[in-house]
Structure 1
């Protein structure tokens, strides 16, 4: 009989077997091949002496199962190897789904990818009502599909439209939404989770069954759902760049969710997907993201009180994110009237986040405290400056903050264009100041640049990175240079697009060429969204105050046409929505021309040490600008272009 290394199997007085997964020396459980083999051994033991029920749970303090071991994906070198890996999980989970005794997945914390596919193979699922509980099938983000039964079982459980939405976007749901969707049978607090699992297993209640219409849509009428899904995919994921969403629809519609039934040679086959450049590059991006997450580890720093100075768009949104993550925020500006719009904005954000949970909305709002006189400075663990971009104003502010703050408080500036070292010269202890540069919109953009100056000590940097991770953002270490990484590469890219406009190429044509390349938004629409005045200020900060502005930009700013914020820029923005004319045929090489300055600037940033290597530059530009993820980042894209000649 196999000794169990990853699983612990116990029986209680009711005859229930409790299988606890705890992958040693790992922060999260993953379903690598040895873990799956052991799960097979667990089922072997239970087949000999069947229990009254089986509970599958995690032995980690937080987190159920993070998914498959992505490292194993990098070793797949053939269609046969891809098929063998998928067959192992498909067969094992099929066996779990077919056992005679009732089975239940007790889900506390993240339940991703293969972890959710395992849970779907159980008869019941109970989710623990905690902020960390999240369920998703994010395989599409890696350029592949959920091949261990997710495409079969999720549509049968919650209906095909809802299931395809989750699989095609990779987005997750929290515990409450999982219960509403029917993905979970119950949503319970931690204190009763074991009893709830026991009662559900012994209840004898039948598994959830879809209503008749949903069963028809998952059966003879699935072509209707598939057609709608393909239309949605076409709008956001070109097949040549992102084949996985198209494959998910095809495997569900034509092969019942069984990837093993897809013939080799089909674009939806395992060999085609796992062997694609897109999958290789997106798996690369996954590891780049994990590297960024690692910068927030190793610091014993749990900020509970944050003081933000500046209740503008950036300062207000930083305050909202902190409150959303459970921190108490004191927000300072010249008057309560300036702070009030932030509270109104926060209320809308929290109502969307905590839909139907008025108590949680109220608690989150209570964590944002208007503080025009800055009383919160003295108690704050973190102090973030987000006032206007003026060196002397920031210096004067930090002189006052340093005097009033606790000696161990983290001092940070959200400046986007000034050197942190220049601001820090006003401090008695310049090593205390770091840069924590968020991007707009704060709620959406995952990257935060964490700025090291020559004086920044290691403890300060680690605290800053840990704070960023507490906000569920990705910290990117950058050297103290004007524009840091992201703005330094974005500026030349946007200005090259503006020069194209000056030459007579229509803005919509330029944007169409770049979105066809894979950018999430064209550069002209991006400038309109950021604000033409901001583009002018950033250009002067990076290129010098005497640098010549593109003519179209200068003329529009002089006319008060600042983009989305004013209702008119290069495009009209009625009701805050862009109104673009039809795009013309782009000149040959237009996308390459506009991208060339971005690629050159990225190379220059690495050579100057703004980031320490090309991989971090790729990560920063992908997560900070949306640079086409399927390419693997600007440096990976350059290498691919060189290989292809």
Structure 2
């Protein structure tokens, strides 16, 4: 095989073989243990695969000679295996190297599926991508009952499960479940737990987490003595076709051809019913050969790494100084966001949360929202009835501001009007302890202005949560020129304790996510104001594969809210955030903006066009013109975010857009795409990253 450009980048995995006597005198189990570099998850590159292949080749001989009754494979705790070595992927130079990696994976792993004796995977921890494909090649699989991360995430990274997954999984769990795991869960970044995997038929037996090997060995002996392990029949042709057709339509609705991996994955599964093993694996090799050196893969790996690094707390609280202990929290407001915040704070921090509203009626409404939020946690299985009662006891709501007196942290979540927020802070400051922290959940207003009349603006910080609060992983931590080290440290530490990924941003209008989303929306609306038909403008950005079209996003945000934020950004940042009279008309009307069109996708309703007037004229753009206008605007705005010091670099922008707006991995967030397509150079005169990082594919 052709060596990758930088073999030294590989984290080499070794395969250690141990003979284990099976209980009941049924023979010997040869157990392979995968061991990687200390402190690193076990990954598979060319040298690691060669090590595993050598071990399995020898075990195949021993199996043929009757020396072993079974072969098992497990990982080194706390992981089973984390899949392909991504450093090796990034080092691939051409199609010859990528094909060699694809074929070596198949040649190695299929030894487990073609052994003369049964093979067993003991999943002692996360098994991702190629790691899970190791298990799929085995005859049987056990898993620790507490394993939460089994997945084939390749499609999200711009790849396919190409070491057997697309052929093996639908034959094991059925075509519909396989497409769900390979495509839908992968695109959403969702993992499968061991319990769910057992329900799917992906795992055959669950074992005690503290006794993975001994309990699995005992089960192996039972299987060899004749224990029946059920297997589902291959789905019939009609069932297969219906599932594939539904997946094709779903991928088209989601991505509009923006990323090839999902389409390839569906087609590989489509062919798997009638293709033999050799044919199915060869088809995977062909697809991997192309995808491993594609620009989407480099963007996907970038997105995966920057979000993972941020989630690990790249900027730790210790960078800024000692944290303030949070023993009680206050929330000003009782609306939807405030109620969600209160429940999250109470459940995660295990501290009392006092909410304050302006009158009894609104307090009662806030109490009802809190109850509804907790009831939702019960329905989702997040808490039991006893836990729900504890949460409801921990969250109180009333009208007396004095109930917040003992709070170590108070978050205001009132209406987005500067004077109202300033009044709240002015009332709170003399009430609270001198070192209590004042936080705002504003989505766009100036945190600096909010605290400018306070005696101690150094304790003011922005905590911009995203809706729905419990599910969205990003927290923009907004610091002003006055915010002190202790406040910043406490805010970033709080994010981690709440299960959020914190990105620290400087106090500039719209911060990161809303500034870019409103630039996109504003540019689309500007095209409509200039005569572009609403449906042309709405469909124009589909080639990016974003989670939703601009008018669907506008309906989700609400035209009134979007208009308010757009106006704020226009006032602060100028005419590049162009005001939209048509948007004001949409806000005044109040009707739904979009409805399913002939293909089932949301399209702007006819009355939306009426709000903007008759289309046409010299300023009207076609779809490509709208897309160009949007990409130019995003490039300009990202450049401004970096040059203004709102973020420390483009990686922060990508983390924010992936985790706060759901922008896809195939764009890398956004900045790799702007570099690759030449927009950053065209608008800014430079790339946002190293010019070699996201340029043309190395083929």
TM-score bracket for this pair, using the shorter chain length = 0.7 to 0.9
1:245 aligns with 2:262: yes
| Among candidates 598, 616, 635, match of residue 652 of structure 2 | 616
Distance 1:111 1:398 in 2: 50
Tell me: CA distance 1:147–1:570, structure 2 relative to 1, closer, same or farther (3 Å).
closer
Distance 1:126 1:210, change over 3 A: closer
The alignment status of 1:165 with 2:190, answered yes or no, reads: no
In 1, distance between residues paired with 2:674 and 2:545? 15
Q: Are the structure 2 counterparts of residues 126 and 527 from structure 1 closer, same or farther at C-alpha, using a change threshold of 3 Å?
A: same
Consecutive unaligned residues of structure 2, counting only runs of 5 or more, are 1-11, 23-27, 358-362, 610-614, 616-620, 683-699
Q: TM-score, normalised by structure 1?
A: 0.82
1:52-451 matched pairs, under 5 angstroms = 53=70, 55-61=72-78, 63-130=79-146, 133-169=148-184, 170=186, 171-191=190-210, 193-204=212-223, 208-212=229-233, 214-217=234-237, 222-223=240-241, 225-239=243-257, 241-254=258-271, 255-256=275-276, 260-262=281-283, 269-296=287-314, 298=316, 307=329, 309=331, 310-320=333-343, 330=353, 332-334=355-357, 335-348=363-376, 350-352=378-380, 360=384, 363=387, 366-367=390-391, 369-372=394-397, 384-389=411-416, 390-396=420-426, 399=429, 402-403=432-433, 412-423=439-450, 430-443=457-470, 445-451=472-478
CA deviation after TM superposition for structure 1 residue 73, in Å? 1.0
8 Å CA contact retained: 1:296, 1:469 = no
Deviation at 1:261, TM superposition (A): 1.5
C-alpha spacing 1:73/1:539, structure 2 compared with 1 (3 Å): same
Structure 1 pair 289/66, CA: closer, same or farther in 2 (3 Å)? same
Structure 1 residues 504 and 324, CA gap change in structure 2 (3 angstroms): farther
Secondary structure in 1 aligned to 2:547?
coil
- Which one has a bigger Cα radius of gyration? 2
Superposed CA offset, 1:368-398 (max 9, x none): 5322259997998876443333431442465
Q: Counterpart of 1:451 in 2: which secondary structure?
A: strand
User: Is the Cα–Cα contact under 8 Å of residues 128 and 150 in structure 2 kept in the other structure?
Assistant: yes
Q: Indicate how the Cα distance of structure 1 residues 83 and 484 shifts in structure 2: closer, same or farther if over 3 A, else same.
A: same
Q: Structure 2 vs 1, CA of residues 278 and 179 (structure 1 numbering), >3 Å: closer, same or farther? A: same
Runs (5+) with no aligned partner, structure 1:
563-567
Contact 1:226 1:253 in 2 (8 A): yes
CA contact (8 A) 1:28 1:60 kept: no
Which range is displaced more, 611-620 or 110-119?
Answer: 611-620
CA contact (8 A) 1:330 1:376 kept: no
Q: Is the 8 A contact 2:410 2:439 kept in 1?
A: yes
Give 1:455 deviation, angstroms.
Answer: 4.3
- Retained in 2: the 8 A contact 1:510–1:524? no
| Corresponding residue SS for 2:429 | helix
CA pair 415-555 structure 1, distance change in 2 beyond 3 A = same
Q: Is 2:568 the partner of 1:553?
A: no
RCO comparison, higher one (Cα < 8 Å, 6+): 2
Return the alpha-carbon distance in structure 2 between the equivalents of residues 382 and 200 of structure 1.
53
Q: Does 1:593 align with 2:634?
A: no
Aligned mate of 2:495, from 468, 478, 482: 468
Segment drifting more, 298-307 vs 15-24: 298-307
